[in-house]
Amino acid sequence: MRNAPKLWTLQFLAIIVMAFLFFLCLQLLTAGFPAYITSIKNNPAQAGLMTTVFMAAAILTRPLIGYVMQKINMKLISTAALLFIILSISLSYGQDSVSLLLCLRVLHGIGFGIVSTIFATMATTIIPVKRLGEGIGYYGMATSIGTSVAPMFALAILQFFSYNAMIILSVLLTVIALILCFLVKTPEIPAAESGSSKNITLKEYVFDKKALLPCILTVFFTITLGGVISFLSGLGNEAGLKSVSLFFLLMTIMMTIIRPFSGKWYDKYGHKVVIYPAAISGMIGLFLLSVTHHTVTLLAAGVFYGISYGIVTPTFQAIAVGLVAREKQGTANAMFFSAMDLGMAIGSTGLGMLAAATNYHFIYGFSILSIVILLALYSLFFTKEEKKAFDAVESQ
């Protein structure tokens, strides 16, 4: 390992901490707003819209970020976006109007789309190519821990304190991320092979077909994540469980344990070794949620789903980034996070409407179908790619 390129630099550590705080902040609101709206309006579909408009705004914003990063300094963009997020979150203080909160969630989504893409590109730009899977695994661990513990904090804050306390904490977390942002040197985005980024058009920076397949697969997985984050509190009420927040705690612990190993396995053996068991683990977790009426079953679901989430999303991100040219990593990251947002938006809205017509237990059983489709597409297309590569070698 002496010849292995260095991964843990001060810059990489700073980006990891920034990403954790930022995702903790935004996902605190992603989980908190639906729970808050449900408590005052008792409407799951309306609550799900809080997540949907947030994700939709991020999705519509991200396609331009890969292009803009080639023209404007990344630190300048991220600083302006973080200030914008601080302002828009602050305006949410003391509000109970669904219409106004939906508008503010759009602003949150715009800021989230910008900052999450830039932070990921900062990370992937400084990660050595030979340790890409491992590096993205650690970066993904930071974002996923922030994402998974946020619902636990959000539900606890709403239960023991207030909606306004959640808003104040979110603002403070974003301010700390902003301070750290000033301490990070802006990594240089590699120029195109032709020697100038001007040779690549706006359309090419917005989309790269090489990264499309892992992004589509990401959509199917995060449909289930949207249901877990948005409606687990509703499942707890339906099942008479008071310890729902422990699900997210166990989910976080399992992600933290599995991430370092899964990244190294990906770099050494390839993605098939980790994707299949992770997807099966996710299906087991969702099944347990669909039948749970006891705390033990709920906690077991957190273990299995945490393993799945801890492996699937960073692996698909690593695949997407690894398939594109070095100078197109911003594009791949934008596509990947847009895919995550799209999946969560579909999950939050679609499963929210389904929950209103059926019940919360049913939607988690139904969500298993999404991972089944993921596995079918993954097996079909990546098997074809491997056959093409094998045939090319045999013909030489």
Q: What is the pLDDT of residues 380-395, one digit of tens each?
A: 887 666 555 434 433 4
Per the structure, how many domains does the chain have? 1
245 in any annotated domain: yes
Q: Which residue type sits at 168?
A: I
Amino acid 203: pLDDT: 67
- Give residues with Cβ within 8 angstroms of 33, minimum separation 6: 47, 50, 51, 54, 101, 105
Report for 76-85, 203-212, 251-260, 279-288: range of highest mean pLDDT: 279-288
In this structure, the chain runs to a length of: 396
35 in any annotated domain: yes
Distance of CA 235 to the CA centre of its chain: 22
305 in any annotated domain: yes
Amino acid 220: pLDDT: 96
Tokens 């090419």 belong to residue: 204
200 in any annotated domain: no
Distance of CA 82 to the CA centre of its chain: 18
347 in any annotated domain: yes
27 in any annotated domain: yes
Distance in angstroms (rounded) separating the CA atoms of residues 305 and 368:
11
Amino acid 381: pLDDT: 83
Distance in angstroms (rounded) separating the CA atoms of residues 107 and 251:
29
Amino acid 394: pLDDT: 38
List, for residues 226-237, the tens digit of each pLDDT value.
888 878 888 888
More confident residue, 22 or 125: 22
* DSSP assignment of 127-180: S-GGGHHHHHHHHHHHHHHHHHHHHHHHHHHHHHS-HHHHHHHHHHHHHHHHHH
pTM (2 d.p.): 0.74
List, for residues 161-183, the tens digit of each pLDDT value.
888 999 999 999 999 999 988 88
What tokens were used for 305? 């789903």
Q: Which residue type sits at 99?
A: S
64 in any annotated domain: yes
61 in any annotated domain: yes
DSSP state of 45: H
pLDDT at 193 over 50: no
Distance in angstroms (rounded) separating the CA atoms of residues 69 and 90:
27
What tokens were used for 4? 């292995």
Distance in angstroms (rounded) separating the CA atoms of residues 388 and 396:
13
User: 3-state secondary structure string, 161-174?
Assistant: CCHHHHHHHHHHHH
Please list, residue by residue across 338-347, b when 16 or more beta carbons sit within 10 angstroms of its beta carbon and e when fewer do.
Answer: bbbbbbbbbb
246 neighbors 298 (Cβ within 8 angstroms): yes
Which residue range(s) make up the domain with 131?
A: 10-188+205-395
Q: CATH number of the domain that 225 lies in? A: 1.20.1250.20
